[in-house]
Structure 1
Amino acid sequence: MTERRYDPTRGEWVTFATHRQNRTFLPPADQCPLCPTAPGRPATEIAAADYELVAFDNRFPSFTAEPPEPSVAGDDLTPVAPAAGHAEVVVFTSDHDATLTALPAARLRALVDVWADRTTELGRRPEVGYVFPFENKGEEIGVTLNHPHGQIYGYPDIPPIPAQEIAAARRYRDEHGSCVWCDVGVREEDSERCVVRGSAFAAYVPFWARFPYQVYISARRHAPALPSLTAPERDDLARVLKQVLVAYDGLFGFSMPYVMAVHQEPAAPGHGDVSHLHLELSPPYRTATRRKFLAGSELAAGAYVTDLAPERTAAALRDVLARETAEPGRHEAAA
C-alpha cells in the first residue's frame, strides 16, 4: 500500500508506504546493498567495483511517478490520493566505514552538484512539487543502512515545515519589505551564535534552536535554491558544511548522528522572492551521554523546549574548530 491520506484537523497530508516495513534493516557489512559489487558475492545496488558518488531510484520508495491506486476510498472530509512523486538514494562513498565528515571537501563539493542537478531534474517532473535532499545519519536517528548515504524526496506538494517557512517569510516581506532569512543571516553571522562564516554561506546555531547543537547553514545572499548557486558559492557551501561536520565529530569524541535537510524553493514558480536556501542540521545529543528526545511538549504539542543556550553551544563548536586549526588531526582538510 502506498497512498496519501488527508488530515483535516491539521490541514496536512500523511503518506502511507507499508511496503517499506520490509526494507533491508541494518545488514552486516559483508551484505550491505550500497557497497560496490564484489567478485564472488551477490550483486548489490551498485554494479561497479568502485565509485565516488552514486544516485539511483530507491527500491522502497515513499513516492513514485506511477503510484498504485489508493486502497481505500476518500471523501470530502478525508480525501485520499496516490503517493505520486519520487524517491532517490545518494551514496556518498564506496567506503562502508566512512562518514560524510571524513570525506574531503572536494567530495562534498561534488555532492552539492549532485543535489543541484537532481533538484533541477526532479523539479521538471509534473508529479513533483518540492525537492528535498536530506541525510539521516546514525542508528540513533533510525537509519536502516549504515553505509554513508542520503536521500532525495520529490514530494507532490510543499511539505508542512517548508510551507510554514514560506508562509512566515511572505508575511515578513509584506510587513517589512525584505527577506526574513537575509535579515536573520546578517544578525546571526555577526553574533556569538555564529560557528563559521564563509564567503557565501554562514553557519550558526539559530537564536531559536530547537535542538541544543542545531546548526543552520544559510546563503549569505538571497539564493532561493541549489541550482541558483554559482561555482564559487558551491565551493564555499562545501567548505562550510565540512567545518560544521568536523565540529560535530570533535564535540564529544564520537561520530555525531544528525538529520541534515536542505530547504529551498519549491518546484512550482512564484516563491523565489521568499524562499531562501539553507541547510538545517539537527543532532540528537545534548551531552556526550544524553540525548534530546522529542517527548510530550515537542511531539504532542509541537512546542520545543531546548536544554542549552545557543550562545553556549555555538561557542563549544567554535572551540572544536579552533583546536582543529591549532592541531590538525584526521580532519585536517576541514578548511
Structure 2
Amino acid sequence: MEGGHGIPFRTWNPVEREWILTVPSRAPLAAHTDLRAGKNSECPFCDVFAPDDADQIRVVRSKHPMVPTITGPEHPRVNQHSVLIYAKDHDQRLGTMSVGRCRDLLVQIALLSDQLMTNSNIEAVCATEAVGGHFGVTVGHPHAQVIGLEFEPRNISMDDADGCRLCAGRSGRHTVRELPSAVAEVPPWARLPFETVIYTRRHAPSLGATNSDELADIAQLIWEILGAYRSQTQGEVQYLLAVMQAPRSRLSTHHLRVELLPLHKPDGSLKRPGVLETMFGVYINPTRASESAAHLRLLLNEGADR
C-alpha cells in the first residue's frame, strides 16, 4: 500500500521475489559527491560538527528514512534509519583514517544493530557505506547507514542444506589475508574483479556476537583492503561496503561477513555494470577470482614493505 505525504512504503516484486522500497521524500534530493571539496554549505552533515568539536563518530537520525517508522507502545522506540558520520572532513575515508576509526565504526554499527533487533518487528538490519558518484551517493560527506527492515532480504544469507559455506573451508588461491580470528578472500563467485569478503574464523552471527579480538581483526582487514584498492586507483576508489549480519530467522546458521564491492578493474579503470548485471542480476567478471586474490596479496605485501 502506498504511503502518503512522502512516507516510505514497500511493494512485492514477483520477478526477483524481493521487496522494493519506494521513498517519495528522496525524489528531490540533489547529489553532491565531490569528496575532494572542502566544507560545503549545502552539505547536511558538515553542520553536525562545530569548528572546535573533536573528530569523532556522530550518529544522527536520517532526515529521509528509507523505511516507515514502526509505531505503537508495544514496540521499543529505536531509530530505524541512522546515519553514522565518521569524519569531520570531506576528504577523509575509512582507508585513509586510522584503523581505530574503522573499529569504532563497527562498534557503533553493532550497538545500533542490537538495539534494532530488540524490536520483534525488525527481521534484518542492513549496515552499509557507499563511496563514489557512480553508486549514486547523495551526500559526499563520509558516512555509513544502519537500517532496520521488517523483512529479510533474499541476498543476506548464504547458508543452505550443505551447511555454512564460509565454515566449509577456504581456497589458498582466493585468500588475500589471514589474521588470527578473521580472513579476507576474493570469493569464487565474485561479481566484480576485486570483490572481497571478510569474515570471522569462528561462526558468529553478527558484529554484536564477536569478541574484541575478532572485531579488531575485521577492522584491520577492512582498512588494509581499502588501502590496497586505493593503491590501484590513485586514491579515487569507488566501492560499496555491506555488513551482512544474521536476520532473525537465521540466528544459528548465518555467518557474519563484510562484503567490499569496488568498481575498478586491475588497471584501475572502472568496471561499470551493464544490462545483464543491472536488469538480470547476471554479473560478468573479466578477472578470475584467484588472479584478483593474488593481485591484492601483492599490493598488501608492497604496502607492508613501504
TM-score, structure 2 normalization: 0.88
Residue 298 (structure 1) aligned with residue 277 (structure 2): yes
| Aligned residue identity for 1:257 | Q
Secondary structure of the structure 1 residue equivalent to 2:301: helix
Residue 289 to residue 318, structure 1, CA distance change in 2 (3 Å): closer
| Aligned residue identity for 1:320 | L
**Deviation of 1:49 (Å):** 3.9
Equivalent residue runs for 1:97-108 within 5 Å: 97-108=91-102
What do residues 74-95 of structure 1 show as CA deviations (whole Å, max 9, x unaligned)? xxxxxxxxxxx82111111112
Equivalent residue runs for 1:71-90 within 5 Å: 86-90=80-84
Residue 315 to residue 140, structure 1, CA distance change in 2 (3 Å): same
**Contact 1:135–1:150 (8 Å) recurs in 2:** yes
In structure 2, the residue matched to 1:21 is 27
What do residues 29-55 of structure 1 show as CA deviations (whole Å, max 9, x unaligned)? 3312212xxxxxxxx245674231011
| Aligned residue identity for 1:281 | L
| Aligned residue identity for 1:172 | D
**Contact 2:127–2:147 (8 Å) recurs in 1:** yes
In structure 2, the residue matched to 1:187 is 170
**Deviation of 1:104 (Å):** 0.6
Secondary structure of the structure 2 residue equivalent to 1:112: helix
Secondary structure of the structure 1 residue equivalent to 2:166: helix
CA distance in 2, matches of 1:115, 1:289: 30
In structure 1, the residue matched to 2:56 is 52
Residue 66 to residue 264, structure 1, CA distance change in 2 (3 Å): closer
CA distance in 2, matches of 1:302, 1:324: 35
CA distance in 1, matches of 2:117, 2:244: 14
In structure 1, the residue matched to 2:134 is 140
**Contact 1:129–1:158 (8 Å) recurs in 2:** yes
Equivalent residue runs for 1:278-293 within 5 Å: 278-288=257-267, 290-293=269-272
In structure 1, the residue matched to 2:229 is 248
Most deviating of 207-216 and 298-307 = 298-307
CA distance in 2, matches of 1:120, 1:66: 16
**Deviation of 1:226 (Å):** 0.6
CA distance in 2, matches of 1:33, 1:110: 22
Equivalent residue runs for 1:191-270 within 5 Å: 191-266=172-247, 268=248, 270=249
Q: Name the count of aligned residue pairs.
A: 288
| Aligned residue identity for 1:57 | R
**Contact 1:23–1:60 (8 Å) recurs in 2:** no
Secondary structure of the structure 1 residue equivalent to 2:167: helix
**Deviation of 1:125 (Å):** 2.1
CA distance in 1, matches of 2:255, 2:235: 32
In structure 1, the residue matched to 2:162 is 172
Residue 65 (structure 1) aligned with residue 82 (structure 2): no
Residue 11 (structure 1) aligned with residue 22 (structure 2): no
**Contact 1:198–1:236 (8 Å) recurs in 2:** yes
Point out where structure 2 has 5 or more consecutive residues left out of the alignment.
Answer: 1-5, 72-78
Secondary structure of the structure 1 residue equivalent to 2:104: helix
CA distance in 1, matches of 2:305, 2:197: 25
Most deviating of 292-301 and 278-287 = 292-301
Residue 277 (structure 1) aligned with residue 256 (structure 2): yes
**Deviation of 1:289 (Å):** 5.5
In structure 2, the residue matched to 1:33 is 44
Point out where structure 1 has 5 or more consecutive residues left out of the alignment.
Answer: 36-43, 68-84, 174-178, 328-335
